[in-house]
Chains A and B, each alone.
Chain A
């Protein structure tokens, strides 16, 4: 019994789907952001798993890519949560179902 690449890929797939469901179905803006963070995590896990198992001349390039993804995710989280606070100030709600000014 051993742990192979496929095991990690399946964990990543499950984590990505949970994040996708959260991002699509949650009413709360912060819940949507949590889903997006989970999806980032799933993709990073897949990167590291490939970097560990797959034949490559520079296997650690996957880790460098993950570091960049984490950087961009941190920047995204900071701006998105600032947007949430701003949205709350203007509309007094962070329920994405009630932010429908563009609907006619």
Chain B
């Protein structure tokens, strides 16, 4: 982790991630906020690559930058008469205080703690090891996750289905 390329990449990607996350806070249009959020997700994926986590980085781009942001845009266009603004509620000041407090506490703990750092190099390839772990050691959580995804999909379909299906009844 000592080469300058990694250091430069880390700082550029961190600035991109945190900067566009701040953009989500300050921008006044909800669609623009989603675009900033996508940039932030991309920055996090880049940070995964600097941590030599290739599989997680690709998953991040597929799920977050692809699926979740499209879901957010769908929710925005499916609520056309709702407010498009991105303004803060009356909780703005307490939330700001709490967020600053959490940031300082977590940052202080991260700096102050004496972590047990290993001297191993970055991972060569992660996908095959993750795949073996998922189907061997973690097979039960893996199956539970599939049931959870099925339940979430069914729940989303049932929730947004029209209450009186008129066109569908004729087919």
- Chain B nearest CB: distance from A43 CB in Å? 11
A73 and B107 CA atoms in complex are apart in Å by 25
Interface 0/1 of B4-41, CB less than 8 Å to A: 10110010001001100110110000100110010011
Min CB distance B46 to A, Å, is: 11
B83 surroundings in chain A (CB, below 8 A): 27-28, 93-95
Task: Please tell me if the beta carbons of B21 and A25 are within 8 angstroms of each other in the complex.
Answer: no
Contact present for B118 and A34 (CB under 8 Å): no
**Binding site of A, secondary structure by majority: helix, strand, loop or mixed?**
helix
Number of residue pairs spanning A and B whose beta carbons lie under 8 angstroms apart = 256
A59/B123 in contact, CB under 8 A: yes
- Please measure, in the bound complex, the distance between the C-alpha atom of A100 and the C-alpha atom of B25, giving whole angstroms: 24
A45 and B115 form a contact (CB under 8 A): no
In the complex the two chains form, what is the Cα distance from A41 to B141 in whole Å? Answer: 21
Q: Which of B66-92 contact A (CB under 8 A)?
A: 67-68, 71-72, 74-76, 78-79, 81-83, 85-92
Supposing A60-B133, A63-B56, A93-B83 touch, asked if A85 and B89 sit within 8 A by C-beta, the answer is no
Q: How many residues does chain A have at the interface if contact means C-beta atoms less than 8 Å apart?
A: 76
Interface string of A31-73 (1 = CB under 8 A from B): 1011001100100110011011111101111011011101111
* A6 to B50 CA separation, bound complex (whole angstroms): 14
Inter-subunit contact B41/A82 (CB<8 Å):
no
- How far does the Cβ of B71 sit from chain A's closest Cβ, in whole Å? 5
Q: Which of B2, B83, B111, B151 has the most CB of A within 10 A?
A: B83
Residues in B with CB closer than 8 Å to A21 are 25, 95-96, 98-99
User: What is the distance, in angstroms, from B98's C-beta to the closest C-beta of chain A?
Assistant: 7
A26–B99 CA distance with the chains assembled, in angstroms: 13
Q: Kindly identify which residue among B14, B95, B149 contacts A75, using a CB–CB cutoff of 8 Å.
A: B149
The interface residues of chain A lying within 8 Å CB-to-CB of B122 are 52
Q: A residues within 8 A CB of B148?
A: 71-72, 75
10 additional contacts (CB under 8 A) given A30-B30, A70-B60: A13-B107, A18-B18, A20-B99, A25-B88, A34-B24, A34-B33, A45-B44, A52-B122, A53-B118, A73-B68
Q: Can you sample 22 A-B contacts with CB below 8 Å?
A: A3-B1, A9-B110, A11-B47, A13-B103, A13-B106, A13-B107, A15-B17, A16-B106, A25-B96, A26-B89, A27-B89, A34-B34, A34-B37, A41-B44, A53-B115, A54-B115, A54-B118, A66-B53, A72-B148, A88-B78, A88-B79, A97-B90
